[in-house]
Every structure is written in structure tokens, then in C-alpha cells.
Amino acid sequence: MQSTLTSPSTRRLAWKVLLLAALAGGTGNIFLGILGALTGGIVLLLGQRDVSPSEADLIVGLSMLTSAMAMVAGIIALTTGCLILITSPARFCAASTQLSSMMNSQLNSTATAGELYIAADGGAQNSTTPLTPDIIPSDSTPSPKSLLALEMIRKTNAMACGDMAGLLLFAVSAAVICFGAVVLLPLASAALRISRVARRVAGCFLPDTMIVPSYANSGHRNVAVAVPVGSPVHVVVGEARTMH
């Protein structure tokens, strides 16, 4: 069975899916990146040989799932970018200040907390309880990742409450919208086009001819007539003759 899955145009679509899926996976959507890599990689590995319907069915499933996930992610990205664009700098400053204060108070309470001991049965005891062999002191020092996150939140708060807050919001919203329009939606379109080709190879479309019942001129017997799909069919309606 000669397949268009091995045609140059389809292979270009596969390379496009691979590149866009790598960009999507690099920004945090790991599952979409893996699906896109599988879809494009399998199409490229087919080479120039004929493709069986079972192989085409696998490509249909992967490409449809990739297209659906990329479409949903693209719509979410476009919606998020539009919401960021209409957010006022004052609200952005208030939200970042609240987040910074919450994170700072949480780390300070962790660092200044008294010694906590965990009993063998899982219950917590305070520092006034005498130590027993089953009691283990806990580590109350903030982790380096938490300190780094707090530092990034403080820098974001300083930018959000500064004179360039409006420009920052515009830049972030433009980046999110461009990512959805340039990466995610084209990925969905390319995967969908591969799916259409694979469905044709797998036999999911109608054949070139279809069998329709008809009546012969003699004896009113049912016969099967092959009618080409897409060709005009003329139907003659007349009175039925009664056999005596």
C-alpha cells in the first residue's frame, strides 16, 4: 500500500511537530513534548517503505492526542495572556506584595520555630517534653530553594511596584500570547494534518466506490450496484408495476 505518510510534505510536518513539541516541552509541558516527539519521530522513522494500517492507526492516535492537547494549551495560553494584558499595575503590585509577605512570614516562622520532636508513634512533642530514645529533633532551617524562591519573589515585587510595572505586564502578556500563537496552535495544526493523512492510510475514510441497493428493470430483484463516491447519481422515480 503506497502511503502519503512517507511523502516529503508529511516528513516536513513531522519535523515541524518535533521542533514545536521540543519548545513546548522545554517550557514545562513535558507530556505534550513527549507526545509530539513520539508522533514526529515515528513518522520520520517510517522511511520510504509502505505503511500498514496498524502502524497508521498508531500514528492517528498519537497525532490526535497531540493536536487536542496542543489546542487546549494554546487556548489557555491565549486566555492567560489576555488576562495579564488587562490587569492593572496597582493590582499586580498588591498581589505580588501579598505573596512576598506571605512567603517571608512563612520562612521566618520556620527559622524561629522552637525545637520540635517527633515521637515514635508519629505524635509531635514540644521542647518542654523530656527527651526519650524515641524522640528525634526536626530540622527547622529553610532550604536553599525556598530562599531562592523568596529572592525571586522580592525582585518581582520590586519590579511590579516600580515605574515599569505596566511595561512588565505588557511584555509578559505579549510573550505568553506569542507562545500560544506561534508554538502551540501551529503544533496542533501540524499534528492534525498528520492525523488526516494517517487516517486515510488506515482506511478511516470512505472508499472510492460504495455499494448501494437498486432495482433491476425486470422482476423487481434487489441487486448491488457500485456507485463512485462523489459522482452524480440520477434516480428515476416511477410507478411500480404489479406482477400478475
- In a shared domain, residues 80 and 8: yes
Tell me, yes or no, whether 77 and 94 share the same domain.
Answer: no
Query: Could you tell me if residue 240 is inside a domain?
Result: no
37 within domain boundaries: yes
pLDDT at residue 137, as a whole number: 46
Domain that holds residue 113: 90-163
User: Does pLDDT of 28 surpass 80?
Assistant: yes
Same domain, 145 and 28: no
Domain boundary among 114, 141, 163: 163
pTM of the predicted model as reported, rounded to 2 decimal places: 0.65
Q: How do residues 72-125 score in pLDDT, each as one tens digit?
A: 999 999 999 999 989 888 888 888 888 888 877 777 666 554 444 444 444 444
- Asked if residue 9 is part of any domain, the answer here is yes
**209 part of a folded domain:** no
Q: Residue 208 domain-assigned?
A: no
Domains identified in the chain, total number: 2
Sheet strands (E) in the chain: 117-118, 124-125, 136-137, 209-215, 222-228
* Statement to judge: residues 68 and 105 lie in one domain: no
According to DSSP, residue 229 is labeled T
Please, which pLDDT band fits residue 242 given cuts at 50, 70 and 90?
very low
The burial of 204, by beta-carbon neighbours within 10 Å (0-12 exposed, 13-18 middle, 19 or more buried), is given as middle
Note whether 68 and 138 are same-domain residues: no
Q: Please indicate, yes or no, if residue 244 is contained in any of the structural domains.
A: no
Query: Rounded distance, CA 84 to CA 180, Å?
Result: 14
**165-195 tens-digit pLDDT:** 888 899 999 999 999 999 999 999 999 999 9
Identify whether 107 is part of a domain: yes
Domain identity same for 31 and 95: no
Q: Are residues 95 and 156 in the same domain?
A: yes
Same domain, 52 and 100: no
Q: Are residues 81 and 180 in the same domain?
A: yes
Look at residue 218 and tell me if it is in a domain: no
